Structure 1
Amino acid sequence: MNASRAPSPAKKLALAIVHEPERSTPAPLGAREELLRSLLQTASDGGVNLVATRPDGDGERLLGQAWPFPSPFQVTISTVPISDGVDRVEARARRSLERLGLPRGDTLLVSCATDLAGAEGQALWSRLSELKARGLFRRIGFRATIADGPVLLARRFQPDVVQLPINLLDQRAQRTGVLSELAALGVEVHAASVFADGLLFFGGEALPPEMARHAHELSRIRRRLAEARVDPMQATLAYALSQPEVGRVIASVASAAELRAVLAAAHAPTPNLNWDAMQLEPATATAAGPNSRGSGRVSSAA
């Protein structure tokens, strides 16, 4: 059974903008800024209003230079590792806002749930709570995998937001009841890794070495999609968007063209698919964790 999709899927979408050279279009700095402005304008025109960022690389600064004014976007920021110390975590979160050119952010997420499970977890959470109380961030939360025990962490820390890998190939968050339990706690779930690192877009010979043993199963899933005349991107987005407990579905894009492909797939009618038949076996299901590039990739599908 497929859940009904929300009337405006773009409102449920969020973006993680990829700046790495292997994904983005090679261009001089000035041209890169113009391409980023075009991407952001496409997002704004399409009704997308949340951008997820990370503190590595130069992405925050580039975004800060490219925002349209007035900006229609809210921003989710991730912390640096707790190994740098709690003071450093706070300083870097403030620095992220400065680089983005924003007085405040929407959400501050602990980048790795294991930081909260460690000895300094409570001190870290207290520091994030202080930043929220001061109005620098509207909400706080954490990024996690199913193996991190997100429900137990949510009961302990009472976050506003939890970001989890959720995709067609790895449906454990929904199948094990994690999504419904988080919803019962009043937590908004953000779905990351929705394209499962592009696994459905690769042929068997192009699979990463660690996934080669799943080539037959992935081929079976692609064949089922082809028989149903459903594009893999449409299917992966439809699965994530159809989960009622998911508040945001994060898609990584490197260009306005990729974003237009995502928006078109998100607005397509929900396919009549048996989701159970589309997942990898639970024992072998894979998804990028919270320390991957964040949201899966459009890859060659765009």
Structure 2
Amino acid sequence: MQPFHASSSKGLGPKGQDPIGKLALAVVTAPERAQHSVMSAPAGAREDAMRTLLQTGADAGVQIIATRPEADTERLLGQAWPFPSPFRVSVRTVSVSEGVDRVEARARRSLERLGLPRGDVLLVSNAADLAGAEGRALWDRIKALKDRGLYRRIGFCATMEDGPALLARRFQPDVVQMPCNLLDQRPVTEGVLNELAGQGVEVHVSSVFARGLLFASRESLPPHLAAHGMALSRARRRLAEARVDPMQAALAFALGLPPAAAVIASVASAAELRAIVAAAHAPRPDLDWEALALDEPAALAVGPRLSISNAA
């Protein structure tokens, strides 16, 4: 067990760092995510909505945008970057089940759609792709893209169940992205984040809002999490008693993790982003972080995401 100790500095991360310096944004284009999401705008206004979101992030000091090859997100981003753009961009691959040639072609296409000559990070989207029969061929192919200068760094996305530290020793990635949040603190308590950082890997933390569960009512929980309703209610009650907003607590926990070089928050609109930035700058609460975790956090890894629009 490796306990997490939150910094007491108001609005600052470890060693007085500006928390926004670690904040990364994953733009979500699901229409149901928020009432004023990018994709809820009329087709002709979506680019303007994306431009407003990105400019809001740039003005706040956000430096990292995390993308994935789905829907129309990459094209919208490519048409809406502020100029000059302050952002470093991470891109995710398609599944190796489509073939390594397709993985390479789609990684190149992502840069074209984003309007970028090169990307900062290319991530294998599923660590299971590396553990399979084509894992080495896949890694060699994305490493070749790095060697050609199309991406500055390469890595993979993983969960606790993937054994990320072992995979990192095998493939020696530059970056590993994995979920870690208030409800599932296993990467901290089991020492995985520290082990990755000790290997020289840059750690990016995702799912910081626990797939929306921090904001869900007990009645709205999906069936596979119904048994955890009491534990979730208990965690929210502890936050309420401490007068801490769930979003503020989630960001304080993730941004205060010393091994985390980036904390990825999903955002669907400029309004959500403003709420996230405000929560990140809020005074850091003094909480018993371990008491907020679920007893069986692996259950969070499956099932659909829930909306956070009510919180944002």
TM range, smaller chain: over 0.9
Sequence identity (%): 67
CA RMSD of aligned residues (A): 1.6
The Cα shift of 1:284 comes to 4.1
Shift of 1:286: 3.7
What is the aligned partner in structure 1 of residue 183 from structure 2?
A: 169
Cα pair 1:192 1:251 within 8 Å, conserved:
yes
Aligned to 2:22: 12
Residue ranges of structure 2 left out of the alignment (5+ in a row): 8-12
Structure-2 residue corresponding to 1:21: 31
Distance, in Å, in 1 between the alignment partners of 2:298 and 2:128 is 21
CA contact (8 A) 1:193 1:287 kept: no
- Partner residue of 1:193? 207
Question: Could you list the per-position Cα deviations for residues 184-228 of structure 1 after superposition, in whole angstroms to 9, with x for gaps in the alignment?
Answer: 000111111100111121111111222111111111111100000
Query: Does the Cα contact within 8 Å between 1:51 and 1:75 map onto a contact in 2?
Result: yes
Question: Partner amino acid for 1:178?
Answer: V
SS at match of 2:274: helix
Could you tell me which of 87, 91, 94 is aligned with 1:77?
A: 91
Candidates 103, 125, 141, aligned match of 1:127: 141
**Partner Cα distance (1:244, 1:297) in 2:** 28
SS at match of 1:218: helix
Question: Which residue is 2:308 aligned to?
Answer: 298
Secondary structure of 2:137's match?
A: helix
Residue of structure 1 equivalent to 2:263: 249
Match of 2:227 among 195, 209, 213: 213
C-alpha distance in 2 between matches for 1:200 and 1:116: 31
Which secondary structure does the structure 1 equivalent of 2:310 belong to? helix
The structural deviation recorded for 1:270 is: 1.1
Matches within 5 A, 1:143-182: 143-182=157-196
**In 2: Cα distance, 1:12 partner to 1:297 partner:** 23
Letter in 2 for 1:300: N
Task: Give the deviation of 1:69 after TM superposition.
Answer: 1.5
Aligned position for 1:239: 253
Runs of 5+ in structure 1 lacking a partner? none
Whole-angstrom CA distance in 2 between matches of 1:16 and 1:284 = 23
Q: Tell me: CA distance 1:297–1:177, structure 2 relative to 1, closer, same or farther (3 Å).
A: farther
Q: Which amino acid aligns with 2:21?
A: K
- For residues 85 and 256 of structure 2, the distance between their equivalents in structure 1, rounded to whole angstroms, comes to 28
Deviation at 1:43, TM superposition (A): 0.1
Query: CA, structure 1 residues 271+297, in 2 after alignment: closer, same or farther (shift >3 Å)?
Result: farther
Secondary structure of the residue aligned to 2:284 is coil
Of the three residues 286, 291, 294, the one matched with 1:277 is 291
How far has the Cα of 1:177 moved from its partner?
0.7
SS at match of 2:300: coil
1:37 touches 1:67 (CA, 8 Å); kept in 2?
Answer: yes
CA deviations 1:46-74 (Å, max 9, x no partner) are 00011111111111011111111211111
Is contact 1:144–1:164 with CA below 8 Å preserved after alignment? yes
Alignment size in residue pairs: 298
Where does residue 5 of structure 2 map in the other structure?
2
Offset at 1:285?
4.1
- Distance in 2, matches of 1:78 and 1:272, equals 35
TM-score relative to the length of structure 1: 0.95
Contact in 2 for aligned 1:167/1:287 (Cα 8 Å)? no
